[in-house]
Structures are given as structure tokens and as C-alpha cells.
Structure 1
Amino acid sequence: MGKKTKISKQPYFISWPVLALMSFVTVIGFDDLIYNFKNQGMGVITSWILMLLLYVIPYSLMVGQLGSVFSKEGGGLSSWIRETNGEFLGYFTAWTYWAASIPYVVDTANSVVVGLGWAINGSNKFQENISNSEFAFWTLLVFVFFVLIQSQFKHSLELLSSFGGIAMFGMTILFVIMAITSLTMGGKFATQPFNLDAIIPKFNLKYLTTLGLLIYAVNGCELIAPFVTKMKKPQREFPKSMIMLVVMTAFLTIFGSFSLGIFFNAHHLPNDLKMNGSYYAFQALGQQYHVGNVFMYLFAWTEVIYLAALLAVLLDAMTRMLISDTGKEFMPHFLRKTNKNGLPINGYILTCLLSGFILLLGIFLPDMNDIFNWLLNLNGIISPGVTCWIFYAFMRVRRNSVKYTSSYVFIKNNVIAWWVGFWTFSITLIATIFGIAPQDVKIFSGIWWYELFINIIAIGTLIGLGALLPLITKREKYMKKN
């Protein structure tokens, strides 16, 4: 018998267009266009251009290098900080990343309730006819429901959220194309006057308070960091992926904002645009094409399915990440404890309690629209704050580039690279600080002061608890020894 020929297995590489598409799904969505259009009107077009050129490009390329440097650690944000700054800051990064997810999942649950109202009634009647306490009750009910089912259908929900995310982008692109095409069919441009002044934002204090939601809209690049090392030639191919990402994002944000100006007068926007704007937009598109609410219903059910699946996956992933990605010396045993199915049940309870606390803070606001806007704006504070860790890690890596080598390097000159990292860090920190000032309400009014107060309370509680847990763990170990 002859010798068997040994067949060598060819390594699998991710192509740069595929990586760009993977990134695109994590970065921008239709609701992000609505939120920032409400904040800045048509001026947001200029803001998107500046953001993409001066922030998104360096941000995504820095993430590429960090993913390449720490490929053996899985490319997670907390591992980047742990490797550059030690165990405690690694733990604290994991905690703040988790804490940032709390307002996000509450906001997602809120959006599910709003979406169901539109999907069933075909209007905003549901939101108008319920009280704040009823809104909080329905949100909490949705929240608890998905905590209960996520462990049973985890993998199918991950698949459903992925398909839902792609479908959402499909709906967004459909809206942009059909909205612009409607102008050639006799449609009128609602934003008047539409001139150069209309697309130049007013760079004042209010503008600074809206930067956080712009950053919140475009962050998420760190999720694709682990895939950098799976490219055949990352040094050459990864920048191509990020340029493709920026081009696609530019198309969606610039033409998407322009399309919104076709149906909404940017100088006089509805007060509830952040909560109901997506549905108003697709409703207006259907009227323009004489098909009634077809597009709105299609969008509403796509939104509900996608957000519901995303909520279930988030609840599981964020809790597991926190429990597994923190050292035993910082996380109390009762939070790391799992049931017979391996689920960190006490971690889920903590998530529910903190989410209920966030809901309770907002329940005393005047109406449902104020609660929705406040929760959304809270994300615009906490999410950019966590993103600061990315640029801090990058600056540390470039301070010691001999130690932290990688197959992909963003800007070969360490001094220039460090200053670019400092630039993005500074912008993100400024956006975080100014984001604490309330939006969507009259400045220095009673509601403004109340929102400022609950912003500080929410941030202080979420971050402060992370600093308190290591002390509880230390006490726990002391009691066990004695």
C-alpha cells in the first residue's frame, strides 16, 4: 500500500469587502438618522461629513490596530485595557461597558413598546392614550419576558437579530432611494428655505450637547476588531474595508438626512420626532406613492422583530460578558454564581433591578415622549464615555510600540499616531461631558433641572456600583477566612 497523501487545509481569510459589510451593520441605522436630524435639522449633513472624516476613519483604523495587537486575548475592549493598564482597570472597563448597556437595553425595550403600538394600531394612538406608569409597566413587562425566553431561544434569536439588522438597513436604503425619486415624480421639498445656511449647523453650546448622540450613532467598530487578524494582508486590506465602510456610511447619513428634509420641515420639526419619526417618515413615503400605510407597517414589524431579538441577545450577552470577563478578586461570588443550566441568574436579577431603577428615575417626567427622549440622551452620555477607553488603550499602545507589535499598524510614526489618538479621545470626552446637559427641553426650566439631576444620579449609580463591588468582594473573602 502506498503512502496516503496528506492534504493541507487552506486557511480561511475574510475579504475586505465582507469585513466592511460586517462593520456597516454594527455602525448606523435609520433611527440614528432620525435622532440626529431632530437635534440639528439639515445642519446634521455637515456634521456627518465632519464626523466621518475627522472621527470615524481614525477611530475604525485604531480599532484595527488594537484588534491586531491583542488578537490572542480575543480583541475585547476590557482585554485591551487589562493588557495595557493592569487587572483593576480591565475589570472597571468591563463594568463600564456593561453599565453602558443598561440604558441601551431599557431604551430598546421602550422602542419595542412604541413599535408594537404602531404595528398594531397604525398610528401613535397607543402612546397618546397611556400614562407614564403604564408605559413603564409595559416596558418592564417586555424586559422581563425577554429575560425569561432568551436562554431557550438564544441561537435562533442571534440569527433573527442578524437578519433583522440587514433588513433594517435594506429598509433605510429603500427609503433614501424612494424619497429622492419622489422629487422627480412631482414631490415637494418640505424644508424651506433650503439653502447653504440650512445645512451649516450653529456651533454653539446646544451643538456641543448633541455631539454625544452623533458618536453614539457611529460607535461599535470595536465589535469587528477580532476579525482583523483573519485577513490575508491586514496592513493593506483593512484600510480598504474602513474606507468602504465610511463611503457606505456617508451615503446613508448624508442622503438619508437629505431625504428626511423632503418630508419634514427641518425648521419646524415635530416634538415627538425621536420617538415616532421613523414611522412618520415611512407613513409619508407611502402617501407619496399612494400605497397608504404599507411601508409604515413593513417598517414597524421589521423594527419590532429586530429589536425584540436584539434585546434578548443583549440581555444574555452583556450579563455573561460581565461575569466571565472580570477577575474573581473584583466580582463578588454571589454575582458569579450560576444555576444548573450555567446561567448567571443573579447577574440577570442585577440587570433587571438596575433597569427598573433607570425606568423609575424617568417616570416622573411630564409624558411618554420626555421619557423616551431622556433615555435616548442618557445613551448619548454613557456610550461615548465608554468609547474613551478605546482611544486611551490606543495611546498606551503607541507609547510603547516596541512591546505591542501587530500585523496592522495605523500611522507608522508613533508621535503622530499618539496625537491622533489624543484628538479622538478629547472629542469623545468633551461630547460625554456636555451630553450631561439635558436636551429637548427648555434650558433652565424645571424639567431641565430635573433631567440634569437624574442624569447625574443614573451615571453615579451605574459607575459607582462598579467601584463598590471590589470592596464587597474583599469583604466577602474576609468573612470567608474568618
Structure 2
Amino acid sequence: MIESQNNPKKMMWITLAMMAFSTVWSFGNVVNGFVYFDGAKVVFSWILMFLLYFVPYALMVGELGSVFKSSGGGVSSWVNATMGPKWAYYAGWTYWACHVVYISSKGTGGLRAMAWGIFTNTKWYDSLPTAWTQFATLAVFLFFCWVASRGIPVLKNLATVAGTSMFIMSILFIVMMFAAPLINPHAGYYNINWNWKSFLPTFNVKYLTSLSILVFAVGGCEKISPYVNKVKNPSKNFPKAMITLAIMVMVSAILGTFAMAMMFDPKVVNAHMNEYISNGPYIAFQRLGDYYHVNSLFVYIYAWCNVIGQFSTLVLSIDAPLRMLLGSKEAKDYIPKKLLKVNKHGAFINGIWMVVILSGALIVVQALLPDAQSVMAQLIKLNSTTMPLRYLWVFIAFIALRKQKDKFEDKNNYQMTHHQGLAYTAGWWCFIVTLACCILGIYSPDPLTLFLNVATPVILVALGLILPTIKKHQDKKLA
């Protein structure tokens, strides 16, 4: 950690910006933007998303983190302080429920990464019947549920190492791709049309129903909120760090898109959509290796880093959100007692069984899809429409905080703006954009995908509403 010379206990704003960058951004975001938004045409959308959504979102997180610095930055604790314990339970449930889909995608992503790491392609894996690949995914998922129930902490450290290495490779990809024409000028690169019209998207149904991909890509900066007051002069330096973060992410997205445009023809990508959604990062690193005459070296490194990252994140995603939900103060009042059972390893064993049933059911249902590539594409889309729902509580907590401004006012706390009208506008704008993108993202021309996109959030929301009713009924019986 870089430290200020004047105050060794405070970090410099550039340190916070780098921490946030590695938390929010990844190479997969660049690939997904390029694939879903017709190549370089995504540049226009990235710029709008950063300026009109990401910057106000990050600054709101800064204010919430500053006001509730002793809470550790949890969204549920922000909602609890501003709206009360019942709403905090719903916020915690939303955060956990969103991970049900995310968990099922990690097993799929890990097996695909293994196929690339072993064979440097997925021809054999993708040729298998979907029922077989989903059975393998289910077996992997159940194994790591068992690992989570044993409280084994080693994978947490592996997740950090894998995440850091993937971040470094994402930056190296951009640098090495732009250097490739100088080293190997005759490798056959695509020319980028620099006419501004070539960057303007086509505003159609596909565009509107894919916006959730971009919202999902830039979300998650609330994870850095505990560090707001660890920055020297936060009221001045935190917004500076967030604006720097937005610039770094925007530059990375745009340069990464240009690097992809030198490699791939959007017409070919559109003609083989599921293949590039599932394998885009690996194909990109394979071509980069060809340009540098190292064959599949980059693919091996990227794939095995991804294997470790996917499987370690799978365990963390089973364990951490469950602990946040069932270990909270609100859990005893709104969740049936049986779900709060802890085994000798300190894991919420019945909560893990709930994960097994819900995520396992999703894995089994996806066996009806035509192939493994379709499963991966469906999971990415489903994640993009469910995971951003947890961001809604950030904006709800911010609006509630500003409504009670006098109660929480402290001259030492950072504020994104002193103007109440502007603060409300920012909060409601980000809330509406997030909700609209999630709803629009539900649409799919494929009937099964559309069914899963509708049924998954409905079932999870219904379950979140039913549990407090069950708890209330149990309390009446005991009274």
C-alpha cells in the first residue's frame, strides 16, 4: 500500500483508485462489450455508461461509505441505518439471491477454462451432449458446496492471487496487442474505420436488451466503501480517486475494444455469437500468442489462472453471501431458525443446502439447452439481468440517507454534492437506469432462455418474501 508522507495511516488517492480498478474491471467485460454491441460500436455506449451512470454511482458509494464508516461498508447495514431492519433483511436477501445464478455460472466457467488449459480448445467439450456437461457441472458444484461446508479457507487466498493475475493479464493484453504490429507487421490485422459513424450503435431491440451487460460490467464499486475514510482528506481526494477510476476503466474499455477490433471481424463474431461469448477471451489470447510466435502459451496461463479463479470464487460465492445474510442481526427476526443452524466447522449447513437446491436446479434445467456454448451464453445474460438488482439497494440507501440529511450530517463526512435536488436526481436516475436495463435484459428470442430469465428472479423474490412469513408463523406457535 502506498502511504502519504505526511500521514502514514492514510493512503494516497491513487492507491484507492488502483484498488477499485482491480475490483471493478476485468478483461471479460471488454470481450462481452465487443461481442454484444457489434464490435467497435460499443465505444459510444461505454462512454455514455461511464459518464452518466458509473461516476454518480461511485460518488454515491463514497458518501454512504463515509457516513457509515463503522459498519464495514455492507449495503445491508446502510439500509438498516436509513430504513430499518426489515428493509435491511430484503437488501441482504437480494444480495444473496443474486449469487444463486452467479454460483451456477462459476462451475460452467471453470470446466470450460480447464478444457482450454488441457486441450487449448473446447471442440471436444462442446461436442458432448448438454446433459453430460451439466452433470459434470453439477458434480463440481456439489463438491465445492462440500468444501464450503468444511470451512476450508485456503481457496480465499487462491482467489486473491488468481484475481490479481487475471487483472495483470487483462492490462498486458492491451499493451501487447498494440505492440504486435510492430513486432509482427504481416500477421494480418483488421483495419479500424475511424469514421465517427462506425462507432455509433444501432438502436434496436438487441441493443436495448443488451444494456444490462454494461451495467453488470461497471457495478460493484461498493466493495471499496470501507476505505473512504482511510484516504487523506477524503472530501477532496475520494471524488478524485473515483473520477480517476472512471477514466482508467473508460480508457481500458476503449483501448481494449480497439485491440479486439484489430483481431476480429464483427460480422464473423455476430455469425458465431455463442462461440465468442463462451470462448472470446481464450480465442483472443490464442491469436495474441500467434502474433508473438509463442503458440498457446498465453492461453495456458490465462486458462489456468481462470480455473483457479472460477473455482475459488465458487466457494467464496457459496460461503460469503450466505454468512452476510444468515449471520446478520436481522436474520433471527426474519429467517426460520433451521436455516441458521451452524455445523462444527462454523458453516451455515442448512443454508448451503438451500444453495444446493436452488443453484443445482438451475444447473439441471439448463441441460435442456442445445449445447454447452448455449449454456454459457445463457448464464452470462441471466447474470447480467439478476446481479445488478443488488445495486438498486445502494441507490435506495442513498436516497433514504439524503432524506435524513440532518440526522447523519457531519462536516467530516464526504458528500457527493451539497445540493439536495441534484443528489435526489442522481439517486433516482441510477435506480431507474439499473431497473430498466435489468427488465429489458430479460427478453430473449429463445423460449427456454426467456423462461429462465423470468422464472429465476420471480422464484427468488417469492422465497425472500415467504421466509419472514414462515418465521412469523413459527414464533406464534412458540408463543
The offset of 1:191, in angstroms, is 6.0
The offset of 1:139, in angstroms, is 1.2
* Matches for 1:352-363 after TM superposition, within 5 Å: 352-363=356-367
The offset of 1:151, in angstroms, is 5.7
The offset of 1:102, in angstroms, is 1.0
| C-alpha spacing 1:320/1:279, structure 2 compared with 1 (3 Å) | same
Paired position in structure 2 for 1:306: 309
Paired position in structure 1 for 2:124: 126
Q: TM-score, normalised by structure 1?
A: 0.92
| C-alpha spacing 1:461/1:256, structure 2 compared with 1 (3 Å) | same
Paired position in structure 2 for 1:179: 177
- Deviations along 1:207-256, one digit per CA (max 9) or x if unpaired, are 11111111111111011111112223110111121122112212211111
1:191–1:266 CA contact under 8 A, matched in 2: no
Paired position in structure 1 for 2:4: none
The offset of 1:305, in angstroms, is 1.4
- Runs of 4+ that moved beyond 4 A: 151-154, 191-194
- Pairing partner for 2:414 from 386, 397, 408: 408
Paired position in structure 2 for 1:38: 35
The offset of 1:152, in angstroms, is 5.5
Equivalents in 2 of 1:304, 1:153: separation in Å? Answer: 20
* Matches for 1:82-161 after TM superposition, within 5 Å: 82-150=80-148, 154-161=152-159
Q: TM-score, normalised by structure 2?
A: 0.93
* Matches for 1:16-95 after TM superposition, within 5 Å: 16-40=13-37, 41-95=39-93
Equivalents in 2 of 1:420, 1:92: separation in Å? Answer: 23
- Pairing partner for 2:438 from 432, 440, 443: 432
Does the residue aligned with 1:410 lie in a helix, a strand or coil? coil
* Matches for 1:309-458 after TM superposition, within 5 Å: 309-325=312-328, 326-406=330-410, 407-438=413-444, 443=445, 448-458=446-456
Unaligned runs of 5+ in 1: 1-9
Equivalents in 2 of 1:364, 1:183: separation in Å? Answer: 44
| C-alpha spacing 1:233/1:194, structure 2 compared with 1 (3 Å) | closer
Equivalents in 2 of 1:219, 1:327: separation in Å? Answer: 26
Residue 393 of structure 1 aligns with an amino acid whose one-letter code is: A
Does the residue aligned with 2:368 lie in a helix, a strand or coil? coil
Equivalents in 1 of 2:79, 2:90: separation in Å? Answer: 9
Equivalents in 2 of 1:153, 1:31: separation in Å? Answer: 30
| C-alpha spacing 1:464/1:153, structure 2 compared with 1 (3 Å) | closer
- Deviations along 1:107-136, one digit per CA (max 9) or x if unpaired, are 111100100011011111232231111111
| C-alpha spacing 1:132/1:418, structure 2 compared with 1 (3 Å) | same
* Matches for 1:254-333 after TM superposition, within 5 Å: 254-269=254-269, 270-271=272-273, 272-325=275-328, 326-333=330-337
Give the fraction of aligned pairs with identical amino acids, expressed as a percent. Answer: 36
Paired position in structure 1 for 2:202: 202
1:385–1:429 CA contact under 8 A, matched in 2: yes
Residue 368 of structure 1 aligns with an amino acid whose one-letter code is: A
The offset of 1:12, in angstroms, is 2.5
Equivalents in 2 of 1:74, 1:192: separation in Å? Answer: 46
Residue 335 of structure 2 aligns with an amino acid whose one-letter code is: M
Does the residue aligned with 1:425 lie in a helix, a strand or coil? helix
Equivalents in 2 of 1:122, 1:206: separation in Å? Answer: 31
2:11–2:231 CA contact under 8 A, matched in 1: yes
Does the residue aligned with 1:170 lie in a helix, a strand or coil? helix
- Deviations along 1:71-103, one digit per CA (max 9) or x if unpaired, are 222221111112222221110110011000111
The offset of 1:430, in angstroms, is 0.9
Equivalents in 2 of 1:26, 1:216: separation in Å? Answer: 13
The offset of 1:341, in angstroms, is 2.4
Equivalents in 2 of 1:473, 1:14: separation in Å? Answer: 45
Residue 226 of structure 1 aligns with an amino acid whose one-letter code is: P
1:103–1:378 CA contact under 8 A, matched in 2: yes
Farther-moved stretch of structure 1 (244-253 vs 168-177): 244-253
Equivalents in 1 of 2:100, 2:207: separation in Å? Answer: 26
2:148–2:347 CA contact under 8 A, matched in 1: no
The offset of 1:357, in angstroms, is 1.4
The offset of 1:170, in angstroms, is 0.9
The offset of 1:340, in angstroms, is 2.1
Residue 340 of structure 1 aligns with an amino acid whose one-letter code is: K
Equivalents in 1 of 2:251, 2:19: separation in Å? Answer: 17
1:154–1:312 CA contact under 8 A, matched in 2: no
Does the residue aligned with 1:328 lie in a helix, a strand or coil? helix
Equivalents in 2 of 1:337, 1:152: separation in Å? Answer: 14
Equivalents in 2 of 1:62, 1:89: separation in Å? Answer: 19
The offset of 1:315, in angstroms, is 1.6
- Deviations along 1:367-394, one digit per CA (max 9) or x if unpaired, are 2111111111111111122211111211
- Deviations along 1:320-363, one digit per CA (max 9) or x if unpaired, are 11101233120110000111222110011111111011112322
The offset of 1:465, in angstroms, is 0.5
Equivalents in 2 of 1:248, 1:154: separation in Å? Answer: 35
Farther-moved stretch of structure 1 (392-401 vs 107-116): 392-401
The offset of 1:160, in angstroms, is 1.7
1:192–1:265 CA contact under 8 A, matched in 2: no
Equivalents in 2 of 1:454, 1:310: separation in Å? Answer: 23
Paired position in structure 1 for 2:3: none
Paired position in structure 2 for 1:15: 12
Equivalents in 2 of 1:145, 1:449: separation in Å? Answer: 31
Equivalents in 2 of 1:188, 1:251: separation in Å? Answer: 25
Equivalents in 1 of 2:459, 2:149: separation in Å? Answer: 28
Paired position in structure 2 for 1:3: none
Equivalents in 2 of 1:17, 1:285: separation in Å? Answer: 30
Paired position in structure 2 for 1:4: none
Equivalents in 2 of 1:318, 1:23: separation in Å? Answer: 20
